[in-house]
Amino acid sequence: MKRYIIRILLAVFAVVFLVSAGMLIKHYVDDRNQAEEFTKLSDFVREYPNMLEETPDETDEPSRLMAYRELYEQNNDLAGWLRIEGTSIDYPVMHTPSDPEYYLKRDFNKAYSSHGTPFLDAACDPEKPSAVLTIYGHHIKNGKMFGALKEYESQKYYEQHSAIQFDTLTEIGDYEIVASSRRRYIPRIRMCSNITSIPTLRMRSSLTTS
């Protein structure tokens, strides 16, 4: 009887171990695939000028905007692009006012993604200037997505990464950080543009995951 119970327990432990190992492997694979997908999109935007037959003149439309337009044809939920040089933040920003959190657990191609894709608050309209534009993104503990925002508690880090770029589909936007704070252990930063026609940009990593 005792041996029978031990065998049952060993079998249970083996099943639990295999399930746990499977979940860890799936999490690792999903994390890698999501990172690769964002990298492909970022590389497309950065390398787009090299894909053109002719190099645009300074007076022509910036090639970045042309790249965004091509991405918009792939997914018309695209609202712009957010980038902070020297950090992991280099992502498309989505906008679905009728279903604000649609990209909470979806990637750019609308497939399931535990990391989701940064998205604008439903009340925001990137094409119509307003007082504030708010962008949400997951706070990943390994520093991916908006996990890097916690680093802005360091003065040195702030000084090295104070310039932020948020482009809409029609306008290049350059911002500078004016405030950094925590609320319930969730970091957030607020940025202002030196171009008066561009609204204040606010990033919130209020969605925490592993």
Q: What is the mean pLDDT of residues 12-41?
A: 69
Half-sphere exposure of 55 (CA within 13 A, CB side): 3
| C-alpha closest to that of 189 among 129, 134, 117 | 134
> What are 145-167's pLDDT values in tens digits?
787 788 877 888 888 888 888 88
The number of domains in the chain is 1
Q: Which residues pair with 73 in a beta bridge?
A: none
Predicted local distance difference test score (pLDDT) of residue 73: 93
Is the CB of residue 108 less than 8 Å from the CB of residue 149? no
> What are 33-51's pLDDT values in tens digits?
787 888 899 988 888 776 6
Domain that holds residue 60: 8-209
For residue 154, which amino acid is it? S
> What are 90-117's pLDDT values in tens digits?
999 999 999 999 999 999 999 988 888 9
In a domain? residue 49: yes
In a domain? residue 2: no
| C-alpha closest to that of 174 among 80, 108, 42 | 80
Tell me the CATH number at 80.
2.40.260.10
Rounded to two decimals, the pTM is: 0.76
In a domain? residue 89: yes
Predicted local distance difference test score (pLDDT) of residue 17: 60
Length of the chain: 210
In a domain? residue 67: yes
> What are 121-146's pLDDT values in tens digits?
888 887 775 667 788 888 777 667 78
Give percent of the chain above pLDDT 90.
Answer: 17
Q: What is the mean pLDDT of residues 191-207?
A: 54
Pairing, β 119-120 against β 132-140: antiparallel
In a domain? residue 1: no
Cα–Cα distance between 148 and 162 in angstroms, integer?
Answer: 13
Query: Is the pLDDT reported for residue 176 higher than 60?
Result: yes
